[in-house]
Structure 1
Amino acid sequence: MSREILIVDDEPNAVTNLAHLCRKEGYRVTTTTSGAEAKQLIQQQRFDLILTDLHIDHTDGMTLLELSGRYQPDSAVIMITGFATLESAVAAMKAGAFHYIAKPFHLNEVRQIIRNALNVVDLKQENQQLKQQLEKRHTIPLIITQDSTMEQLLQMARQLATATTSVLISGESGTGKELLARYIHAHSGRHRRPFMAINCGALQEELLANELFGHEKGAFTGAAQRKTGLIEAANGSTLLLDEIGEMSLSMQVKLLRVLQEHEIQPLGSTSVTPVDVRILSATHRNMSHRVANGEFRQDLYYRLNVVELTLPPLRQRQGDIPLLALHFLRKHTRRMERNIDTIAPEVLDYLTHYPFPGNIRELENIIERAVALARGREICFTELPPHLQPEVQNSPHLRRSPLPPLTTLAEREAQYITEVLQRVGHNRTQAAKILGIDRVSLWRKMRRYQLDNGHDDPSSTQH
């Protein structure tokens, strides 16, 4: 990209020499011998570099320097004068000039100063671009809703974001607990630091401790180097402890110390490290019942649950289902580069009355599958999973009564899980993915509904 340079001097010979030098370097040059014209140019055009005499007819070069700072904040200014004094040089540099050159000057010296000034301009521009990219990375997560309960919840989340209060986010699997945690982080003063999260139910106790607290080199066999734990890495930011209800009692003691003392001690270390981390936690459990049963420490529960935000299940947000379905349609058509315009009205009507045991995660899974299988420009019943397709698609009764006759939501969920397991040959990893939940959640649901009929899980690995 060609650089734009403005040269201002009331001596025509100086203007000619400087313009010739700049054009030989490949720069685009605008010249003037008038201070008044220079003011207009600075206000109307963009320049990467301005070379100006300290004294131009009735205009002070310092005035142009100040004007440049106001209208051209990313440009550099080089002051040139035939009456150089130490005082004027110091004043120009303090006012923001990049360099101060005394006449007569050597062209080679000026050439190098111009190059250095433009390098600084490059760095300013690159820094601005990086800041813009960071701002994009920290945009507020999109939570789509027109539900009054959800809107009240989001209003409370924004209010809590500005505080340091611990927040417990509760709700069924797939309701968007991590998304809400990211929403709180994005509205907080910590949003410029990366948000971090860990699933406490997905790791064994020793692995979870290592992930949270880290270790020193040589702390155990195979510890070839120091590992920074997530709590330390999240210093100055926000850490979400997802599925906090699955944390063991011994790990709860260690976490309680962090919340009380605001410090950690990595494995193998003899010293503590102070940390400033905002802890958010999430669970699908009834935590008060776990406290009452002795499965969760009461003191830690009160530390984590200063304020509880409970996400409603999708079946209680029927008005949001069409909005979310169309959002996921746009998302996955872009990702897969498919030309699919909409979802058939009867399909949207059917989905609106479906109970969604897997909540929003299940809805996205259904739409993603439909986008992948669609043959036309509209999502129809034939693209839905078999268990969602009504028995008689053309029935005029469909819109009035889209739900198959079932007695309870629990029976519906159990039947769905059974059908999915059968279709994937009882591969629990595949089944969990289709259901939009993790394997631990699937295992708990199977145990609750007594669906474990002795089939071996092909996805398991024996050690």
Structure 2
Amino acid sequence: MKKNILIIDDETNARAGLKRVLEHLDCNVVEAASGSDGIDAFRKNKIDLVISDLRMPGADGMSVLEALQKEAPETPVVLITAYGSGEAAKKALAKGAYDFISKPFDIDTIELVVQRALKLLDLKSENESLKSIVGEKKALSLIVGNSPPVKQLFQIIKQVAPTKSNVLIEGESGTGKELIANAIHNLSPRHNKPFIPVHCASFQENLLESELFGHEKGAFTGAIARRLGRFELADKGTLFLDEVSTIPLSIQVKLLRVLQERVFERVGGTETIETNVRIVAATNTSLEKLIEEGKFREDLYYRLNVVSLKVPPLRARPEDIKLLIKHFLEKFNRETGKNIIVSPFAEEILESYAWPGNVRELQNTIESLVVLCQGHEITPRDLPQHILGATNKKTIKTTDEEFPDFDNMTLPEIEKWMILRKLEKVKTKSDVAKQLGISRRNLYRRLNEYGVM
């Protein structure tokens, strides 16, 4: 893509000469005969590089440089003058000029400076693109999954993150709503500012008000000093309100005012404080139902629910369970210094479980299994009874019988059940062997023993 270069010079011949050189370099050229016209031209066009004379009537080259440093500091500015001196060059470079060239100049010098400046722009653009890709991967790395619901979730997060809109995240407990809020923050223009979480259900009414808005010294018993609230701490960043459904009606009124007017007062104070925060709220309860019951303000709901994001429960994306097991196994192996693996049979049982506590329950289960495992492998015998019991209640057919009672089975019997079940679900025996972590020869030997070859 051609670069756009702005030439600012009050001499027509000087502009014409520069234009010929720049067009030879395959650049688009925009011309201006004065500093003020040059600044206007910069605002009206997408300019990549500015070349300006230093001495001009009215707004001179230094004025142009100062204006562009405020408006677009990333745009390189090259200053040219017949009155060049060491002091003028030092002053221009100190104020942020990319380079300084004295008249009379030769074509080679202009070409060299321009090519160097444009190459730097390309490198910066490539660097920003790479940083964006890396930042996106990092922001989403803690949300583990490759299922269609998770891919759709990633897409919505990437769409909503760059905006200023408030977001309401809806999902069951343990689905990772705070991770999603964090990802939205980290992919937003506010990523270098604070991300402040507030778990609303953990505070009593009077304490929640102080937690959100802060308080002045002496505002209530025990207020021995001024305390900044979460809105002040999150200024220019993101405030995450978890379990927003538990906020009392009296505080909902104050929260609504902040969202509407962007101002509040500390508890016990009279000073009106301006705030610039983005609100990301989360709930595991239907706010619409609470509105019908008179427990949640409808106007606040619409202020929070500018963009709605629904998080699927783990049972709605069972294909992600294996990835999550691997993720948490690596995490807790690293933390404990162990090298535990999960046997294919135990993994199959874990994948069959409904996980009512969602990802949090799975995480806690894997952590417990790693910590308590005395060998190097987690087997069905190591799994919690409630998982085995819940799985036993399912009516999953195998070639011989329904889901068995693992407690009363030997390990070879459990292996047989698992192999036969896998054989029903997978197309080829090679894939069965691969998924179970055994050789094909071993699989064929066992199938012969079972009489199903």
The normalised TM-score by structure 2 is 0.58
Query: Are the aligned partners of 2:169 and 2:177 in contact in 1 as well (CA < 8 Å)?
Result: yes
Query: Are the aligned partners of 2:194 and 2:235 in contact in 1 as well (CA < 8 Å)?
Result: no
1:376: how far off? Answer: 2.5
Partner Cα distance (1:229, 1:96) in 2: 41
Higher mean displacement: 220-229 or 182-191: 220-229
Partner Cα distance (1:397, 1:339) in 2: 27
Q: 1:354 to 1:401 in 2, by over 3 A?
A: farther
Which secondary structure state, in structure 1, belongs to the residue aligned with residue 225 of structure 2? Answer: coil
Alignment of 1:233-382 (within 5 A): 233-340=233-340, 342-382=341-381
Which secondary structure state, in structure 2, belongs to the residue aligned with residue 189 of structure 1? Answer: coil
1:87: how far off? Answer: 4.2
Q: Cα deviations across residues 388-437 of structure 1 (Å, max 9, x unaligned)?
A: 244335333357779xxxxxxxxxxxxxxxxxxxxxxxxxxxxxxxxxxx
Q: Cα deviations across residues 337-377 of structure 1 (Å, max 9, x unaligned)?
A: 1122x211111111111000110000001100111112232
Query: Are the aligned partners of 1:315 and 1:355 in contact in 2 as well (CA < 8 Å)?
Result: yes
Which secondary structure state, in structure 1, belongs to the residue aligned with residue 190 of structure 2? Answer: coil
Q: Cα deviations across residues 19-62 of structure 1 (Å, max 9, x unaligned)?
A: xxxxxxxxxxxxxxxxxxxxxxxxxxxxxxxxxxxxxxxxxxxx
Partner Cα distance (1:400, 1:269) in 2: 71
Partner Cα distance (1:382, 1:157) in 2: 40
Query: Are the aligned partners of 1:141 and 1:182 in contact in 2 as well (CA < 8 Å)?
Result: no
Alignment of 1:148-159 (within 5 A): 148-159=148-159
Query: Are the aligned partners of 2:252 and 2:300 in contact in 1 as well (CA < 8 Å)?
Result: yes
Partner Cα distance (1:270, 1:190) in 2: 29
Alignment of 1:36-55 (within 5 A): none
Which secondary structure state, in structure 2, belongs to the residue aligned with residue 308 of structure 1? Answer: strand
Which secondary structure state, in structure 2, belongs to the residue aligned with residue 197 of structure 1? Answer: strand
- The amino acid across from 1:386 in the alignment is Q
- The amino acid across from 2:417 in the alignment is H
Task: Give structure 1 stretches of 5+ with no counterpart.
Answer: 1-85, 98-131, 403-463
- The amino acid across from 1:207 in the alignment is L
Q: Cα deviations across residues 260-297 of structure 1 (Å, max 9, x unaligned)?
A: 11011101211210000101110110111111111111
Which secondary structure state, in structure 1, belongs to the residue aligned with residue 139 of structure 2? Answer: coil
- The amino acid across from 1:353 in the alignment is S
Q: Which residue of 2 aligns with 1:232?
A: 232
Whether 1:95 aligns to 2:88 is no
Query: Are the aligned partners of 1:216 and 1:225 in contact in 2 as well (CA < 8 Å)?
Result: yes
Which secondary structure state, in structure 1, belongs to the residue aligned with residue 301 of structure 2? Answer: helix
Which secondary structure state, in structure 2, belongs to the residue aligned with residue 207 of structure 1? Answer: helix
Partner Cα distance (1:238, 1:95) in 2: 37
Runs of 4+ in 1 over 6 A off after TM superposition: 399-402
Q: 1:364 to 1:95 in 2, by over 3 A?
A: same
Query: Are the aligned partners of 2:194 and 2:236 in contact in 1 as well (CA < 8 Å)?
Result: no
Which secondary structure state, in structure 2, belongs to the residue aligned with residue 95 of structure 1? Answer: helix
Partner Cα distance (2:420, 2:274) in 1: 61
Query: Are the aligned partners of 1:291 and 1:297 in contact in 2 as well (CA < 8 Å)?
Result: yes
Which secondary structure state, in structure 1, belongs to the residue aligned with residue 197 of structure 2? Answer: strand
Q: Which residue of 1 aligns with 2:221?
A: 221
Partner Cα distance (1:268, 1:319) in 2: 53
- The amino acid across from 1:319 in the alignment is E
Partner Cα distance (1:242, 1:401) in 2: 42
Which secondary structure state, in structure 2, belongs to the residue aligned with residue 282 of structure 1? Answer: strand
Q: 1:230 to 1:380 in 2, by over 3 A?
A: same
Query: Are the aligned partners of 1:281 and 1:304 in contact in 2 as well (CA < 8 Å)?
Result: yes
Partner Cα distance (1:352, 1:170) in 2: 24
1:139: how far off? Answer: 4.4
1:183: how far off? Answer: 0.8
- The amino acid across from 2:210 in the alignment is N
Partner Cα distance (2:337, 2:140) in 1: 23
Alignment of 1:146-225 (within 5 A): 146-225=146-225
Q: 1:266 to 1:401 in 2, by over 3 A?
A: farther
Query: Are the aligned partners of 2:168 and 2:280 in contact in 1 as well (CA < 8 Å)?
Result: yes
Q: What is the identity percentage for the equivalent residue pairs of Structure 1 and Structure 2?
A: 44
Q: 1:271 to 1:316 in 2, by over 3 A?
A: same
Q: Cα deviations across residues 103-125 of structure 1 (Å, max 9, x unaligned)?
A: xxxxxxxxxxxxxxxxxxxxxxx
- The amino acid across from 1:189 in the alignment is P
Equivalent residue in structure 2 for 1:397, among 398, 411, 417: 417
1:193: how far off? Answer: 1.0
Partner Cα distance (1:364, 1:317) in 2: 16
- The amino acid across from 2:245 in the alignment is G
- The amino acid across from 1:235 in the alignment is D
Q: Cα deviations across residues 234-282 of structure 1 (Å, max 9, x unaligned)?
A: 0100111100111111111111111011011101211210000101110
The structure with the largest helix share of the pair is: 2
Query: Are the aligned partners of 1:349 and 1:399 in contact in 2 as well (CA < 8 Å)?
Result: no
Q: Which residue of 2 aligns with 1:61?
A: none
Query: Are the aligned partners of 1:141 and 1:183 in contact in 2 as well (CA < 8 Å)?
Result: yes
- The amino acid across from 2:310 in the alignment is T
Query: Are the aligned partners of 2:140 and 2:154 in contact in 1 as well (CA < 8 Å)?
Result: no
- The amino acid across from 1:173 in the alignment is S
Q: 1:257 to 1:399 in 2, by over 3 A?
A: farther
